[in-house]
Amino acid sequence: MDAEITVTELTADLVPSVVQLCQQALDLPEDAAEAAAIVDVLWTRATADRPVVGLGAYRGADLVGVLICSVSSTEPGIGHVDLVAVLAEQRRRGVGRALLQRAERVLAERGATEVLLAGNPPYYAWPGIDVRYTPAVCAALALGYQQDRTAWNMTADLSYDGSPALRSTEATERRLADQGVTVRRAEPADLPALTAFARSTFGGTWDGELAGSVGRVDAGCHLAERDGEVLGFAAYGSSRPSWFGPMGTAPAAEGSGIGGVLLRRCLRDQRATGLDRAQIGWVGPVPFYSGSAGAWIERVFFLYRRTLPRA
């Protein structure tokens, strides 16, 4: 007979145990390989931005599943489940259900009236549930979550010198320089101008992602400017070392080639860290990334939501 499942709130000293479980429980190799970075961004770093709670499911003394959830810092009443990981041999035995039900109560206690199984920017590891994590999809549907969006990542091949993702940008950079445009690596002193540009041009929550990219190990950002005015930026590594984004170009500079230059500069940086593939996360303009870097749609995510019952 199975020992009863006990779900408790986890303390920060258990981060290494959570990482170890995720390394075992995340089925996709690219997720398991970045388990430490995923737990760090969702639990450790995200606490600077919003309330975060880690939950552990135990059978007896054994940790068999974990969940990290948080409250949106920009949308009142919205809670997020950011990560669920259950050991393979414990699936379909009530562990995921117990974790999700406890997370709903925890989030409701913190003011949530609706829960999303979707990324909570600027600190997220996936847009939603990768469609290949079938047990997670089944658990969401069994608990009454409704799919309301689909998102996807694109993959850029960094494994060989002739990859379209690594095409030289020198000629375009010379042309831009003739037009008074400078392209360079962003430094921490550039953050105020970068975040102001991102807010005024695109809105959203890119401030945190830019702060998580500029000046961090295995992360970075490149920018284009003219006469001190930012015209565009591209960043990578904020949430996960292998992920590219966000990026944005001023509407007036679209079609100038700035975007492709910034993109491929970042991809070259990522290759220099030893990566042979980069994930372009939560993609909008598919044709741009396909044309500029030969990227293709690979990871597809379902995003779910559920309105919590009134107490």
The mean of the pLDDT values for the chain is 95
Range scoring the smallest mean pLDDT among 171-175, 177-181, 205-209, 303-307:
205-209
Quick: pLDDT tens for 260-281. 999 999 999 999 999 999 999 9
pTM of the model: 0.94
Q: Match domain 5-151+302-307 to its CATH number in 3.30.450.40, 3.40.630.30, 3.40.1010.10, 3.40.50.300.
A: 3.40.630.30
Quick: pLDDT tens for 24-75. 999 999 999 999 999 999 999 999 999 999 999 999 999 999 999 999 998 9
Do the Cβ atoms of 8 and 61 come closer than 8 Å? no
Tell me what pLDDT residue 205 has.
78
Residues 6+ apart with CB under 8 A from 33: none
Alpha helices in the chain (DSSP H): 15-25, 29-33, 35-39, 95-109, 134-142, 170-178, 191-202, 206-211, 258-272, 286-293
- What tokens were used for 270? 């990522």
- The CATH class that applies to domain 159-275 reads alpha beta
Residue 182 has phi, psi (to 5 degrees) of: -105, 135
Is 5-151+302-307's fold the same as 159-275's?
yes
Spell out the domain ranges in the chain: 5-151+302-307, 159-275
Identity of the residue numbered 92:
R
Binned at pLDDT 50, 70 and 90, residue 302 comes out as very high
Quick: pLDDT tens for 129-172. 999 999 899 999 999 999 999 999 999 999 999 999 999 999 99
Nearest CA-CA partner of 37 in 213, 236, 241, 219? 241
